[in-house]
Structure 1
Amino acid sequence: MNFKQNEKINQVTDKTLVIGMDIAKQTHYACMVDERGLLLKKSFPVHQSRQGFEFFYKRILEGMKEFDKTDVLIGIEPTGHYWLNLAYFLDERGIPLVMCNPLHVKRSKELDDNLQTKNDAKDALVIARLVKDGRYSYPRLLKEIEAELRVGATLRDNLVEELARIKNKLIRWTDRYFPEFSQVFPSFGKMALAALECTPFPSDVAPQEPAELLELYRGVEGLKSPQKPKINKLIEQARISIGVTEGQTMARIEITTLVQRYHKINTELHDLQEKLTELIQATKEYDYLKTVPGLGDTTIIDLLSEIGSFAHYDHPRQLIKLAG
């Protein structure tokens, strides 16, 4: 740990211009200090726009020339996702960017003035001095396949969560209007969804004959052969149902909408999974990970979307530390 800290401190020499930045949604604030933490340039605003970034880049070059510096190191306190645009902009121009822990910034600011007030200009100076002392970490900017995997895995997680919410809503409606439904269909398979789409209420099922429902469900896309025993049981339960009978018109609309959304998200998940699988199969790590018993494509996608390539790590303990 001390060795790493010394490495970071040694990065800042008398030829290094240290810049601290407080990140915000629209307007960031940056200030410049030397290797001792002495203020060279007071905090100035940097707007979250192409024009603002170009202005900031110009100020960096001017500052290096004015104070006779050959290197630059920019430190930020990460705020949400707003720092990413600037980070990629600086990365394209070969300017190193590091991150300071927000808790360290808060504690260091209190050491200076012991006030609870927050000020963007003041925070920029605190961040710059933390960078000068080597109290920072290196962010890993995702690129190419790693970036695609991260975005895709996040999207898949969101779709899975949305699917779970739809299931819960469908359960709520069946518990209210057709509580016996779960005795026939304990999970939402193709036939259960077909029944909800065509006959969501006991009053839709009870008068029907098994052959009529069989024909009705066959017309649902994706369901080729409905199970007759299930249909018989559904009719039996519908005829003794204790479901609520009021408000069914609007409930029918919502149930139909939920079933359609369920199908749509399921299709999107399937397509997304195929694309993510293609991405991981193009990585070097895939062949190694597939040899581990119990690791399927979904787990490998989750793993690589979080840690990226193994080439980023020198020792297995780094992965353990990343996991917490």
Structure 2
Amino acid sequence: MGKSSHIQGTKGAKYSQQLRGVNLEQVLIIAIDAAKLHQKALICNYFGDVIERPFFFSVCESGMQVLLKNIDRAAAAVQAQRIFLGIEATGHYYEDVIREMAKHGYQVQIFNPYSTYEERASALNWCKTDDLDLVAIAHAIKSNKATETRLLDGIQRHLLVLTRARRSEIRKRSVFRMEIRNLMDIIWREYQGYADHSQGKARKIKVFSDFWGKASLFFMEHYPHPSMVLNLGESELRKLSIRHNLKLRKTAIHKLLYVAEQSLSRNMEELRPELMLLKMKLSDLDAFDAKIELLDQEIEKLLLQTDGRLLLTVPGLGVSTSAELYAEMGDVSHFTHAGQLIKKAGTNPIIKQTGGGKGSYRNISKQGNSHLRYVVFLAGRNLCLHNKDLKSFYDRLKTRGKHERSIFIAMGNKMLKIAFAMLRDRAYFASQLSSYQITTEINKKLKYNCFISSALQAAA
């Protein structure tokens, strides 16, 4: 029977090849439940007969020796011909176990928590205990449901750590920005924009085109109350703009003075707590901006050292999105086709088919890597907005009445297929636009590094 005819494809064919012709009583299944302090393991044979009852061990020199000695004892007891180890991807605690076991020649299969959840649910048992988790992992090993067998290393792992940290910092910064907006609403409601009803309909007119721009942040930090702006007057505002390079136009100055005159804000003494909090939040915001800037610099530098820089040739994918997509995809040499990556992301649609009918596509499975799933959605949205080559795909789904978010996911899946082929073949994005130029596309995205075209030429 050829590999392609196995019901689990190449992955299933490799697994069955290891079992074929082997006495299954001599096949050891070792399930490991990772945790911060108290790891637990269970050793049984392929039929589920317990060889070593569940035992605790720690991830340290002595703890790993406990695990290894139990494996050796069980292997000797059944004269093991094959040993399969599996661990659930719980936080980052599982990584140390995999690295340490690799030093002793053991390959540990990595299971998505959803796989063990399904195994536990199939037993019709709604309890969750360490022993039940071990049994679920053991069943998942037998069913060959592992998603990966290797951890990322080198620059790709560095990118994974830094891009996830960057996303976390951006989310924290968003919280601070919302708090600052709320404080400015209390201190000076019209600062973020005022209502205009002069043309018979309600309109919002912004004072600053970018609320988080240099000019807006300057006034929030130094002149956050309308009385302070009124005391300056138009001439002093012009001088401030020149002195601090705020680039305030005449219309912006007039708007600022107008909202200051019209404001019904309480006096500064009453707003003293809010003004104090605003100053603190703006200081925190500066710290977040500095951290994100530092992360952006390092991410860009590292990305240019990898094949991930090829993704920069895709219009619509910036440095951070390209780096995150490259890092979360992992080593594409571990996959035989892009569909495996889509399943890893959990953005594959659930298919419902029965009675020989055509079947229908439902919501995405969400059974994969949540980090990869997020960046697939993000990349899909960016491509829908900024990639002219793929606009026809977007338009086709739009005319079929697809929801915007569904289109973003579909576009993200398409990007996974494109990215898989680009990284596998070390090729550029194949744009059909006559105005498209690779070096121009990349250079406009780089902020901290000079792009050397020969470096990309060498990668392709």
TM tier, smaller? 0.7 to 0.9
Indicate if the aligned counterparts of 1:109 and 1:123 stay in contact, CA closer than 8 A.
no
Counterpart of 1:2, as a letter, is Q
Residues 1:227 and 2:227 are matched in the alignment: no
Residues 1:27 and 2:48 are matched in the alignment: no
Alignment partners' CA distance in 1, 2:145 and 2:294: 44
Alignment partners' CA distance in 2, 1:264 and 1:77: 36
Q: How many residues align?
A: 316
1:5 is matched with 12
- Quick one: which of 304, 328, 336 aligns to 1:306? 328
Q: CA deviation at 1:306?
A: 1.3
1:278-322 CA-partner distances (Å, limit 9, x unpaired) = 1111112423x2333333322211211210233232223333333
2:295 is matched with 272
**TM-score scaled by length of structure 2:** 0.62
Indicate if the aligned counterparts of 1:24 and 1:79 stay in contact, CA closer than 8 A.
yes
Shift in CA distance, 217/263, structure 1 to aligned 2, threshold 3 Å: farther
- Quick one: which of 153, 171, 174 aligns to 1:161? 171
Shift in CA distance, 194/45, structure 1 to aligned 2, threshold 3 Å: same
Indicate if the aligned counterparts of 2:30 and 2:41 stay in contact, CA closer than 8 A.
yes
Residues 1:196 and 2:220 are matched in the alignment: yes
Please state whether the residue corresponding to 2:231 is helix, strand or coil: coil
1:112-159 CA-partner distances (Å, limit 9, x unpaired) = xxx544442354245324423434443441211121111111111112
Alignment partners' CA distance in 1, 2:174 and 2:128: 40
Q: CA deviation at 1:226?
A: 4.4
Q: CA deviation at 1:214?
A: 4.8
Higher mean C-alpha displacement, 192-201 vs 119-128: 119-128
Q: CA deviation at 1:35?
A: 3.0
Please state whether the residue corresponding to 1:208 is helix, strand or coil: helix
Alignment partners' CA distance in 1, 2:8 and 2:190: 65
Please state whether the residue corresponding to 2:260 is helix, strand or coil: helix
Residues 1:147 and 2:157 are matched in the alignment: yes
- Quick one: which of 168, 181, 201 aligns to 1:171? 181
1:185-233 CA-partner distances (Å, limit 9, x unpaired) = 24221011010000111122222233434555667xxx43442623343
Alignment partners' CA distance in 2, 1:217 and 1:263: 21
Shift in CA distance, 218/58, structure 1 to aligned 2, threshold 3 Å: farther
Alignment partners' CA distance in 1, 2:74 and 2:101: 16
Structure 1 runs not aligned, ≥5 long: none
CA RMSD of aligned residues (A): 2.7
Indicate if the aligned counterparts of 1:159 and 1:269 stay in contact, CA closer than 8 A.
yes
1:286 is matched with 309
Counterpart of 2:305, as a letter, is A
1:96-122 CA-partner distances (Å, limit 9, x unpaired) = 212451223313544xxxx54444235
Structure 2 runs not aligned, ≥5 long: 1-6, 194-206, 348-460
Counterpart of 2:245, as a letter, is K
Q: How does 1:105-144 map to 2 (within 5 A)?
A: 105-110=119-124, 116-144=126-154
Higher mean C-alpha displacement, 156-165 vs 273-282: 156-165
Q: CA deviation at 1:69?
A: 2.4
Higher mean C-alpha displacement, 302-311 vs 126-135: 126-135
- Quick one: which of 247, 272, 278 aligns to 1:255? 278
Indicate if the aligned counterparts of 2:43 and 2:53 stay in contact, CA closer than 8 A.
yes
Shift in CA distance, 281/104, structure 1 to aligned 2, threshold 3 Å: same
Higher mean C-alpha displacement, 223-232 vs 264-273: 223-232
Indicate if the aligned counterparts of 1:33 and 1:129 stay in contact, CA closer than 8 A.
no
Counterpart of 1:29, as a letter, is K
Q: CA deviation at 1:48?
A: 4.2
Please state whether the residue corresponding to 1:290 is helix, strand or coil: helix
Indicate if the aligned counterparts of 2:110 and 2:149 stay in contact, CA closer than 8 A.
yes
Higher mean C-alpha displacement, 190-199 vs 239-248: 239-248
1:205 is matched with 229
Shift in CA distance, 149/228, structure 1 to aligned 2, threshold 3 Å: same
Alignment partners' CA distance in 1, 2:147 and 2:324: 24
Counterpart of 1:18, as a letter, is I
Indicate if the aligned counterparts of 1:36 and 1:132 stay in contact, CA closer than 8 A.
no
Please state whether the residue corresponding to 1:74 is helix, strand or coil: strand
**TM-score scaled by length of structure 1:** 0.85
Counterpart of 1:203, as a letter, is S
Counterpart of 2:118, as a letter, is H
Counterpart of 1:8, as a letter, is Y
- Quick one: which of 240, 253, 262 aligns to 1:240? 262
2:350 is matched with none
Residues 1:87 and 2:71 are matched in the alignment: no
